[in-house]
A = this chain, B = another copy of it.
Amino acid sequence: MLQTARPKKEKAPTEAPVHEKYLEAFRWMLLARTFEEKLASMYRGGRITGGVYVGKGQEAVSVACGISLQKGDVFAPLIRDQAGRSAFGEPLVDVARTYIGTRTGPMRGRDGNIHRGKPREGQLAMISHLGAMVSVLVGSLMAKRGRGEKNFIGLTTIGEGGMQTGASHEGLNIAAVEHVPLVVVATNNHYAYSTPNDREFACDNLVDRARGYGFEGYELDGTDLAQCLDIIGKAVKRARAGRPPQLVVASILRLAGHGEHDDFSYVPKEIYGEPFACDCLQRTEQFIKEHELVDPATLKGWREDAARQVDEAFAIAQKEPLPSGEEEDWCAISTRNLADNAEAAD
Contacts and interface: CB of A to CB of B under 8 A. Distances in A.
Interface in A130-187: 164-170, 173-174, 176-177, 179
Contacts of A259: none
Identical chains in the assembly: 2
Contacts of A179: 202
A171 B346 CA distance: 49
Contact of A212 (B165, B168, B212): B212
A170 B164 contact: yes
Interface residues of chain A: helix, strand, loop or mixed (majority) = helix
A8 interface: no
A315 interface: no
Contacts of A170: 164-166, 169
A257 interface: no
Interface string A95-114: 00000000000000000000
Given A166-B169, A167-B166, A212 B202 contact: no
A176 B164 contact: no
A179 B179 CA distance: 34
Contacts of A209: 209, 212
A198 B214 CA distance: 12
A44 B211 CA distance: 44
Interface string A59-102: 00000000000000000000000000000000000000000000
Between A170, A173, A198, A206, the greatest number of chain B beta carbons within 10 A of the residue's beta carbon is seen for A173
A299 B105 CA distance: 78
Q: How large is the interface on A (under 10, 10 to 19, 20 to 34, 35 or more residues)?
A: 20 to 34
A190 to B, nearest CB: 15
B212 A200 contact: no
A206 B213 CA distance: 8
Contacts of A167: 166
Interface string A204-232: 10101111111000000000000000000
Contacts of A211: 203-204, 208, 211-212
A202 B208 contact: no
Contacts of A214: 201-204
A122 interface: no
A209 B179 CA distance: 18
A57 interface: no
A177 B199 contact: yes
A249 to B, nearest CB: 11
Nearest to A201: B173
Contacts of A176: 201-203
Contacts of A201: 173, 176-177, 213-214
A173 B131 CA distance: 15
20 contacts: A165-B166, A166-B166, A166-B167, A166-B169, A166-B170, A169-B170, A173-B201, A173-B202, A176-B201, A176-B202, A177-B200, A177-B202, A179-B202, A201-B213, A201-B214, A203-B211, A206-B212, A209-B212, A210-B212, A211-B211
